[in-house]
A and B are shown apart, each in its own frame.
Chain A
Amino acid sequence: MFQAFSQRRWLLVGLWVLIIAVVVAAPAVLPVFRLNLLGRFLALSIVALGIDLIWGFTGLLSLGQGIFFALGGYAAAMYLQLSNAGDLPNGIPEFFGLYGVKELPFFWHPFASPWFALMAIWLIPGILAAVLGGLVFRNRIKGVYFSILTQAALLVFYNFFNGQQKLINGTNGLQTPATKLFGQYVGSDLMQRWFFWVTAVVVILIWAFLRWVVRGRFGDVLIAIRDDEPRLRFAGYNPTLFKTLVFGLAGALAGIGGALYTVQSGSASPQFMEVPMSIDMVIWVAVGGRGTLVGAILGAVAINFAKSLVSEAMPESWLFIQGGLFILVVTVLPEGVIGWFRGEGPGNWLNRLGFCLNSLGNWLIRLGQGLIHQGNSSPWLKALRISALGRCLIRWGQSLNSVGIVRRIVTYPRLELEGQLEVQP
C-alpha cells in the first residue's frame, strides 16, 4: 500500500518535471510559428477550463463564453492601443482617425492605466457573467433554455461590437502587434516567447485553483446542482448563489484566456464572438472530457493543433473532421477521452481483451485435444504445444480481466471467464 502510494507520488513528480521541462524548453525546440500556436491554444484552454467548471461540474451549458473571451481580449488590446497612442495625432489610437473621431470615447480613459487594465481583463467579464447569470438563475431558467439565452446574448454582443466603428473599430477589431510593451513590440519573437511562458504558468495556476475548488465540498455542491438542483434547495443550499458564483468565475477565466489569446494572435475582434467559436469551445471540453479539468486543457490544445495541421494539409476538410469527432465522442466516448480513461474505459477494454484471449485459449485447447484423440503419434507433441499455448492465453486473459476489474468501479459485474486449464493427454 505504502509502496504503491510512493510509486504514485514519484510518477507525479516525474510528470511535473516533464511538464516544466516542456514549458521551459518549448521556445528552444519549437519554431516560432508553432510556439505561438501552442501559446494561443493554451490561452484557449483557460476558457475551456471555465466551461468545464460550469458545464462539466455544474451542468450549465453556456454557448456564449465568446462574450467574456472577447471582453478580456478587448480590455488588453485597449490598454496596448492607448499606451502607444502618445505620439499619434490627437494622442488617440490611429483607427479613430478613419471615422473622424477626435475625442477618445469616455470608457477608454481608465484603460490607460496598466493596473486598471489588468483588473478589467478578468473583472469586467466576471462581473458581467455573474450579473447576466444571476438574473437568469434567479428566474430558475435552466437546461436548454439557459443555453439558448447565452447564445442569444452572444449574438447581441457580436452585432453590437461589429457595428461600433467609432467606439472600438467595429468589425476590424483592435490590433496589437505594432504596439509596445516594456519597450518591445508585442508582435516580436521575444515578447511572444514571454507570452507563451506567462500563458503556460497561468494555465497551471488556474488548473490548480480549479482543482482545489472542485475537489472539496464546494465541488460536491456543484455536482449536486448538476444531479438534482431542486433537491439541493431542500437540503438548505441556495443553488442560485453557487451557480452565479461559478458562472462569474468561468466568465473571468474566459476574459483571462481572451487577453492572453489576443496578445498572441495579434488582434481582438468581434470574430471572437461568432457563434461557431463558442460552440467550438464546448466541443473541446466534450472531447477532452467533461468534469476532468485536464481534459479541458488537452481538448483545447489537441483539437486546435489538429485543426491547424489539418487545415494546412487539406483546407476545407477540417469542419467535417471536427463534426465527425464530436459525433464520435457523443456516441462512443460520452465522457470524453480523459473521462473514458479515468472511468471504466480501460478496464472494460482489458476485460474484453482478456475475454477474447480466454476464448482463443479454450479453442486452442479443444483443438489440441481433438488432435490427441485422433491418436496419431506425430502431431502428439504439436497438439500438446497447442494446448499449452491455449492455457497460456487463458492465464493472460484471466490476469488482464482481473486488472480490468480493478480498474473498474466495484459495482460493475465481473465478466465470467471459463478456463479449462487441465488437459488430459
Chain B
Amino acid sequence: MSSRSSYLIRRVLHGFMALFIIATLLFFLFRLGLPDPTAALITEGLNPEERERIRASFGLDRPIWEQYLIYLANILQGDFGYSFHYRAPVADIIWERLGNTMVLMLPAIVLAYAVGAPLGAWLSWRRGSKVDTSGIFVGLMFRSAPMFWTGMIAILVFGIGLGWLPTSGMRTLPYEASGFFDKIFTLDFLHHLILPALVVALYYLGSPLLIMRNTMLEVYGEDFIEMARAKGLPERRILYAHAARNALLPVVTQLAVTIGLAAGGQVVVEVVFSWPGLGREILNSVRTSDFPLAQASFLVMAAFVVTLNLLVDILYTMLDPRVSFK
C-alpha cells in the first residue's frame, strides 16, 4: 500500500472516531443536562399517567445505556429518529434546514472569496501604499463588527429606511412551493437573499483578503519570483501568473474550512433575518429539549466540518508536494 493511501485511510478513520466521540458526548450532555422534554407538557395540564405514556412512546423511560445503544444503532442505519417538537422524522427537517442554510451561506462565502482573494493580491502589490492601508482597514472593520449588528443596521438602512429589500424570511408570505428547488428558483427568493448574503459576505471578506495579501508578500521573497523578474517578465504577469497561483493554496484551505463551518450557519444572521436555517433550528431544539433533532443537527454540522477538514488535508497532499504523509 502506498504511503499516501494509508495516510488517507488513517485520516478517514480519525474522522469517524471524532464523529463517534462527538455523538457520544452530545448524547450524554443532552440527557443529563437538559430538562425533560415532557416537562413543558406538564404545565399544559397533563396528568402523570399521560406523561408516562408519552415518555414511553419516545423511549425516554428506558435506562440511559439502553437509550444510548439504540441511538448509536439507529444512527448507523441512517435513522435520526423522530422530533418531539415537530412530530416528524428528524431527517426530513434537517435536510430542509441544511438546504436553507447552504443556499444562504454558499453564495455569500463564494462572493467573499471571489472578491477578497484578488483584492488581497492587488493590495500586496501596492504594499505600504494608502490603498493597501485602507483595504486592510475596511476588511478588518467588517471582520470586527459583530455580524448580527451589521445585519440589524443593514435592515434599518436598506429594509426599513430605503425600503429596497425584504428583511425577513426566504420568501414573501404566503407562498406555495412544491419542493426545495421550486422554492429557491424564483426572483422573490433572490430578492430575500441579497441582504443576509451581503452581510455574511462582508464579514468573511477580510479573511481571504488578508491571507492572500500576506501569503503574496511571503511568495515575493521566493527565488522563483526573482527568477521571473530576472527573465524580464512584466510585473503584472509575475503577480498573477507566478505569485498569485502559489499564494492561492492557503486561501483555498481557508475556503474549505469556512464552508465546513458554514453548515452550522451563522446562527445570529439566521436569527436576525428570520432565516429558517439549521443554526436557528439547533438553538430552538436545544431550548425545547428536542433531543433527537438537536443531536442530529449537531452531528450533521460536525460531519460537515470533519469532512471538509479531511478534504483540505487531501487537497494539500495533492497540491503541495512538500507535505509528507506521516
Does B bind A? no
